[in-house]
Amino acid sequence: MPNFRCILKDPKSFARRGELQLAHGKLQTPVFMPVGTYGAVRGLSASDLESTGASIMLSNTFHMISRPGIDVIESVGGLHRFNNWSRPILTDSGGFQVFSLAKKRKLSDEGVGFKDPFDGREIIFTPENVVGFQERWGSDVMMVLDECPPADAASQHILQAVERTTAWARLAKEAHQKKELALFPIVQGACDIEMRKKSLKDLLAIEESKEPWQGVAIGGLSVGESKLDFVRTLYELRGLLPSDRPRYLMGVGTPRDLVFGVACGIDMFDCVIPSRNARHGIIMTSEGRLNLMNNQFREDARPLDEASDCPVSAQYSRAFVRHLFQIGETLGPRIATIHNVRYFVSLMARIREHLEQGDFLDFAWEFLRDPRTQYLGKEAGFQDYPLDYEGPRLRKLST
């Protein structure tokens, strides 16, 4: 049975330091999960991923059902045997595809039917079979099927999505057989805080006659809302989520998002940003965001990041990695991906250290005001929502 232990709570914010014991290992939280949609982070072997220090990875249930299929994965002994990853795996439920494949799905109270983008066949997801798929291949953390409404959805659509997500969560809870595998419900509600509160209340009510959920996730953010709405919604949810289990913010985000999320009490994060941007030559360093495609790095003999403890960063110069991208050599994206994943994993390790030292809030404010920590655009909005218990502050963060 999965077990979460809160080691310490930050007295100046909602951040906390914890441990989560799962079927395939123990996680130190807060934790970042690299995304391996089809069972592997693009371009990386399991040993490559291990070298970054990643303790858990995420895979996508919809895409894995599409290719290679549940029967293939089960026939070779489950997902861990299939992809040679011995550490924990979290699999999402397909709820994001309800949003992202809106033109290729049929949604009803019973579930959702997708048209497979590769061969056109129909894929049926129900609350029950989604749990069954994840149990059959042995996910350490399984997500319930949910409906993720668009950021600009009308109030009635948001309410419908919240109520359907709750109904599906109830059915998923009934279908959960392998108790050694954790099952998380997903709080929906777009950027409407009252809908978020309703979703959370209704999901927790399911526990009254059953075993508790082993964690709680926040879904439906980073799906097109403004950065200000994202920050406001996450800030207003702080302190509302249960404190006796891990809290997971799905599909988020940039380095600043992670630091702000931890301050709001989040324990688990995943995002494609480090690997997706790496494939385009965008890397994150202690000096800030670098675009290796820029000509300024053509003769730059420095490593990708002189301050990084990533062995890849020490072995190759910016000029060489840029050269690899220029000629289409796949080693370039691989090096950049290892580097970026290591940056995100190391950031979470730094956060845990500052929590243990008792100076996390100072670190967080400094990180959010440092122009070098921007990853995508201006990333404004954090300054309007103070991270601590003291109420609004007069000082502003630069963007």
In the numeric block, which tokens belong to residue 160? 């419908």
Q: Are 237 and 218 in contact (CB under 8 A)?
A: yes
- The whole-angstrom separation of Cα 165 and Cα 159 is 10
In the numeric block, which tokens belong to residue 301? 């003999």
Nearest 5°: CA angle at 262, between 258 and 268? 75
DSSP string covering 134-153, please?
HHHHT-SEEE-------TT-
Q: How would you classify the pairing of strands 105-108 and 111-115?
A: antiparallel
**Counting every residue, how long is the chain?**
399
In the numeric block, which tokens belong to residue 349? 């390790």
- The whole-angstrom separation of Cα 253 and Cα 78 is 29
- The whole-angstrom separation of Cα 136 and Cα 77 is 9
Secondary element (H or E) of residue 46: helix 46-51
Catalytic residues: 92, 270
b/e map 195-218, b = 16+ CB within 10 Å: bbebbbebbbebeeeeeebbbbbb
Q: Are 253 and 271 in contact (CB under 8 A)?
A: yes
Find the radius of gyration of the CA atoms of the chain.
21
Task: Give the count of beta carbons closer than 10 Å to the beta carbon of residue 149.
Answer: 26
Q: What is the DSSP letter of 165?
A: H
- The whole-angstrom separation of Cα 363 and Cα 370 is 11
Q: Which residue has the tokens 């249930």?
A: 61
Q: Which residue has the tokens 């303790």?
A: 55
Secondary element (H or E) of residue 16: strand 16-22
